[in-house]
Structure 1
Amino acid sequence: MKLQFLNPLYERPGPIASVYLDTSREIDEPDRAIQLRWRNLRDSLLAHDSDHATLDAIADVVGTDRDVVGRHGQAIFAAHGHLLLAEVLPEPPAHDTARYGMLPDALPLALQHAPDIRYAVVVTHRMHTPEADDGEDELEVAYDTGSWPMSRVAPSQAPQRRIPVDGWPKEAEQLISELADSVDGDGTEVIVLSGDPWATNSLIRQAPRKLQDRFVRLKDSGHWRPEPGRALLETGLGTLFAGTLPDHDRQRLDAFLAQRARSRDDVEGLAATVTALQRAQTQALILNPPVSAAPPLWVGTEPTHIALSGADLHAFGVPYYWEEPAGSALIRATARTRGELIAVTRDALPLRDGLAVLLRYPGT
């Protein structure tokens, strides 16, 4: 998974306030509950010397995700009175957290983006319309694209269309063109089809070969209209993508396994990971979430200023350095040296210290 979406967090110097907040609204008096949670976090940030202008910038966006139903949260970052980034999270944080430090607490946000599978959805439902003059059925068609899992709470929500059944071949032709564009332009890997079997089969038959191996059918549950602010076919997509990685990440893991077979100590474990990041040699940071058990790391002002101890940075000639949580240090170094992130469960691929790297230039 590429990490360009984190760039706004590193465009201003710290200190930066990082807030993760449960903003689910399926409770009594949700606005009051959300503001109470935020007040507790605000008090914590004040206790750590956060400035009021930064707190006000965060307060302006807390709870503004009112159009999203179901369980979700917010990640909000601000510095020096300026909002840096605010995103709705597909899962609320396990605990509300607030941190004020020189580096943003960006790893939890990055993990909520993973695995970042690009997909498209086409749903067709046959509607019997006895009031029509000719009694002809209509098809209700919904088409959406997204990146799983973030699109669960940030769908594009293209409008549904209703067309006569005999107009489906022309509509299918237009949809195929849009699907081909999403594959070529956005890297769409999976095209999910659900609904009327005749319409689905017709769409597949008309599609060119390059789309054929991307089609996946989901059983028509009869409940396909999404809740406000939620993705089309969200439940089915969750089942489909559970434990799945994008093709790009799977290829990266295959390359990592080949490197590990040659020299495990160079690519696996905390020490190897830090060394690779110091050298801007990391093509992908691979981790078993969570990384909370990793000890703090020492960092400086540049992304490659990362080490296991302050003495190491001093020996490298870094004049100013400090401690940061491992997750904050690792994700900054990875993102700012154009590395990628691959999150894989320990059951699927256990890693020493829960960390590893795919090297850009193995053997150097």
Structure 2
Amino acid sequence: MRLSFLEPLYAEPGPYASVYLDTSRDAEHPERAIALRWQRLRESLSRQGADRTLLNVLEEAVGADAEVPGVHGQAVFAAHGTLVLDGELPRPPEHDSARYSTLPDAMPLVTQHVPEIPYIAVVVHYRGLPTAETHGWVTLEAETGTWPTSTVTPGERLHRRVPVATWHHTSLRLGHRLDEQARRAHADAVIVGGDEWAGNVLVRRLPRTLRDKVVRVGGRTPTETGRALLEPQLDAVFRGHMAAHDWELVQIFIGRRAADGPTTEGLAATVAALQRGQVSALLLNRPPGSSLRLWVGPHPTQLALSEPELISFGVRAPREERADEALVRALVGTGAELVAVPESELTLHEGVGALLRYADPGPPS
């Protein structure tokens, strides 16, 4: 999973205010509920040292996602009186939280992006006489997205209305159009719902590379405005799976580890590789707990397990920070990817490992 969407967070030095709250619109008087939640978080940030200007900037952003219906959440980050990132969460946070700290509290936002599976969803409906397949219309809707975040930030939809009499011919052309969209999105899967007959015609006319990725789904297909096409079915298809790109990185890690290739495992070895900008992808079985700490300096690669180690690198006045915050900053700052991999697929020493861009030079012969 690429973390380039977090780059605005680190454009300026801290301190940062990081806010996570439930902004669901499925309850009675949602705006009142959101305002009460925010008031508690505002008071907490004030006690932590955030000034009024920063609090006012956050207040303008909190709850401004009124166009997103249903259950969801919001992650808002600000620094030096400026909003730096405002993201929608496909699920409300387990607990509303507000943190004013030197580094942004970005890991909860990252974990809501996991597993970040690219897909294209297609719904086709036949409307016509119940005993004829030559009268009426076929409607097609298609939308690319990245699950699960696209459930609340859906992409642009393709709409087509085609006479049934021309559906066999037109579906061939639409199949190539869908193939182009899927290629641009690097889609792992094509989720097809709606009418069985019209869907079968379309699937048979898709290019083979796309047809092999088709997953047919049933159930109700109408989708609430502002939510992803086939949202309930997407959850059923993708939950518990990894993106194909991430799974490929896991296989590369397993192969390299077996051949003593450029990989590392364990927190100390992985932190050392991050110090050198050597990590191309960090693999985690689970996010580090909030009690795990690292020492950091002002630059992304300045992190260590102890204060003396960082001082030995010439860092003045190191600070002790949460490990998850330090790790995310290091990944974004060095352009490394993050792969969340279940222990059932790959057990890592201390729950952490890395694919390296290059191997350490061996000892001189």
TM-score range, shorter chain: over 0.9
Amino acid at match of 1:128: G
Tell me which residue corresponds to 1:253.
Answer: 250
In the TM superposition, what whole-angstrom CA distance separates every residue of 1:117-171 from its partner, at most 9, and x where no partner exists?
Answer: 11111111111369xxx99222122111101110010112526443321232354
One of 302, 325, 332 as aligned partner of 2:299 = 302
State whether structure 2 residue 311 is matched by structure 1 residue 277: no
Tell me which residue corresponds to 1:207.
Answer: 206
Per the TM alignment, residue 81 of structure 1 is displaced from its structure 2 partner at its CA by 1.1
Kept in 1, the 8 Å contact 2:120–2:182? The answer is no
Per the TM alignment, residue 36 of structure 1 is displaced from its structure 2 partner at its CA by 1.1
Matches within 5 A, 1:1-364: 1-128=1-128, 136-156=135-155, 158=157, 160-219=159-218, 221=219, 223-262=220-259, 267-292=264-289, 295-364=292-361
Kept in 2, the 8 Å contact 1:51–1:80? The answer is no
Structure 2 distance, partners of 1:196, 1:176, is 16
In the TM superposition, what whole-angstrom CA distance separates every residue of 1:84-143 from its partner, at most 9, and x where no partner exists?
Answer: 11011001111111111121111111111111111111111111369xxx9922212211
In the TM superposition, what whole-angstrom CA distance separates every residue of 1:167-215 from its partner, at most 9, and x where no partner exists?
Answer: 3235423432332222332212211112223322222232223323222
Secondary structure in 2 matching 1:267: strand
The answer to which of 164-173 and 74-83 deviates more is 164-173
The answer to which of 88-97 and 294-303 deviates more is 294-303
The answer to which of 294-303 and 308-317 deviates more is 294-303
Structure 1 distance, partners of 2:179, 2:29, is 45
Structure 2 distance, partners of 1:156, 1:259, is 37
Amino acid at match of 1:295: L
Secondary structure in 2 matching 1:60: helix
Per the TM alignment, residue 56 of structure 1 is displaced from its structure 2 partner at its CA by 1.2
Structure 2 distance, partners of 1:254, 1:265, is 13
In the TM superposition, what whole-angstrom CA distance separates every residue of 1:237-281 from its partner, at most 9, and x where no partner exists?
Answer: 111111211221111101212333355996222112211111111
Structure 2 distance, partners of 1:65, 1:289, is 30
Unaligned runs of 5+ residues in structure 1 are: none
Structure 1 distance, partners of 2:261, 2:100, is 36
Kept in 2, the 8 Å contact 1:124–1:199? The answer is yes
Secondary structure in 1 matching 2:42: helix
Amino acid at match of 1:233: L
Kept in 2, the 8 Å contact 1:118–1:147? The answer is yes
Kept in 2, the 8 Å contact 1:190–1:214? The answer is yes
Aligned structure 1 segments of 4 or more residues deviating by more than 4 angstroms: 262-266
Structure 2 distance, partners of 1:233, 1:33, is 28
Structure 2 distance, partners of 1:264, 1:359, is 9
- Percent identity over paired residues: 45
Secondary structure in 1 matching 2:165: helix
Structure 2 distance, partners of 1:245, 1:353, is 21
Kept in 2, the 8 Å contact 1:129–1:138? The answer is no
The answer to which of 290-299 and 243-252 deviates more is 290-299
Per the TM alignment, residue 320 of structure 1 is displaced from its structure 2 partner at its CA by 3.3
Structure 1 distance, partners of 2:349, 2:90, is 29
Structure 2 distance, partners of 1:294, 1:279, is 25
Taking structure 1 as the reference length, the TM-score comes to 0.92
Structure 2 distance, partners of 1:53, 1:305, is 30
C-alpha spacing 1:52/1:247, structure 2 compared with 1 (3 Å): same
Secondary structure in 1 matching 2:83: strand
Amino acid at match of 1:29: H
Amino acid at match of 1:147: T
Amino acid at match of 1:290: P
Unaligned runs of 5+ residues in structure 2 are: none
C-alpha spacing 1:248/1:265, structure 2 compared with 1 (3 Å): closer
Per the TM alignment, residue 288 of structure 1 is displaced from its structure 2 partner at its CA by 2.1
Kept in 1, the 8 Å contact 2:193–2:216? The answer is yes
Structure 1 distance, partners of 2:262, 2:230, is 44
Kept in 1, the 8 Å contact 2:290–2:324? The answer is no
Kept in 1, the 8 Å contact 2:262–2:359? The answer is no
